[in-house]
A = this chain, B = another copy of it.
């Protein structure tokens, strides 16, 4: 199954007065009709990075018009820059420009740019408007939708942040043509996640279309993005601040965050760590009696087809995993909470994993 990308599509994240559209399609960046209606006033701060700026900054600005005050902050690229210090650079630029509460921040880049820009918007003058313009597959299907913003702390990922919804998400599928292969695979990890947690039919479609996706087939990519955003929008609308079902979106993330934290931000891509984390979650689910050997094999194979790593870092011990996982935001009081699979397409929150089962899993799991 593939779909035409001729028609642009709009999904809605239904959050009452904080509802917003996700526009998906080619050619959105340079076309004023998509961004302008979502500006709060005449002051616009574009936040982007040194990789994306040369590719898309001018195209975005061309879609804004001459009657606005437009400023830009160009940050270094990479997860290592996802710090409070980078957010302070954004605040400094806003204050330097004299921007007021009716300004709009525009995040042009991947998840790191989106998370930092969103948090900068959430905390500037107690909250201003922002628009997500994600340019990586991973941010298009995941972080740009749902309002989670924030930065890392030396002691853990995303420890400082806010729930702050964008005014709109503009997904210009043309931007995927410049995406490095490794980042495409990282994005596919999050796409696979939606199949694993909520839609086994979509998982089957991904198994059948992985070659097309990796070959940058435009129609296949557009459908994968639309289906992923749609599943995410449903979940976010049910549970904006992650009191319940939204936690399911973290399948693979507790293990994955441990890998990223241990390796130092940026060495593994987020999607790569989540891919390996999902395989760990699937294997743990098998050991708890919920998944069959075949279902774990399917999980491994679809991740392999997306060219994602299937083994943990060589230098990461069981204790390395456990000490970082204990700080996970999902934990309540002293209990470790994991997202696991009752079946393919059926995720659950579980806080009863016997410590020895977890330790044995981490011991047995292959290392690179």
Contacts and interface: CB of A to CB of B under 8 A. Distances in A.
A332 B129 CA distance: 14
A162 B162 CA distance: 9
Interface in A155-173: 155-156, 158-163
Interface stretch (A94-102, A182-190, A341-349): A94-102
A159 B127 contact: no
A327 B155 contact: no
Contact of A95 (B148, B161, B163, B327): B327
A153 interface: yes
Nearest to A91: B160
A124 interface: yes
A326 interface: yes
A160 B122 CA distance: 9
A330 B98 CA distance: 13
Interface string A195-239: 000000000000000000000000000000000000000000000
Nearest to A335: B100
Contacts of A9: none
A126 B98 contact: no
A122 B326 contact: no
A314 to B, nearest CB: 27
Interface in A247-271: none
B98 A332 contact: no
Contact of A127 (B96, B100, B126, B241): B241
A337 B155 CA distance: 43
Contacts of A88: 84
A68 to B, nearest CB: 11
Interface in A129-179: 148-150, 153, 155-156, 158-163
Query: DSSP majority for the A interface?
Result: mixed
A333 B42 contact: yes
Interface in A305-344: 326-327, 329-333
A357 interface: no
Contact of A126 (B150, B155, B333): B150
B41 A332 contact: yes
Contact of A163 (B98, B126, B155, B326): B126
A291 to B, nearest CB: 28
Contacts of A353: none
A95 B331 contact: no
A156 B95 CA distance: 8
Interface string A45-80: 000000000000000000000000000000000000
Nearest to A326: B98
A123 interface: yes
29 contacts: A42-B333, A91-B153, A91-B160, A95-B153, A95-B155, A95-B156, A95-B159, A95-B327, A96-B155, A98-B326, A98-B327, A100-B331, A100-B332, A101-B329, A102-B332, A102-B333, A122-B162, A123-B123, A123-B160, A123-B162, A125-B159, A125-B329, A126-B162, A126-B163, A126-B242, A126-B329, A127-B162, A127-B163, A127-B241
Given A125-B159, A125-B161, A126-B242, 7 more contacts: A41-B332, A43-B333, A100-B327, A100-B332, A119-B123, A126-B149, A126-B163
Interface of A: 41-43, 84, 88, 91, 95-96, 98, 100-102, 119, 122-127, 148-150, 153, 155-156, 158-163, 241-242, 326-327, 329-333
- Give me the 4 closest cross-chain CB pairs, A-B, nearest first: A95-B155, A125-B329, A126-B161, A100-B331
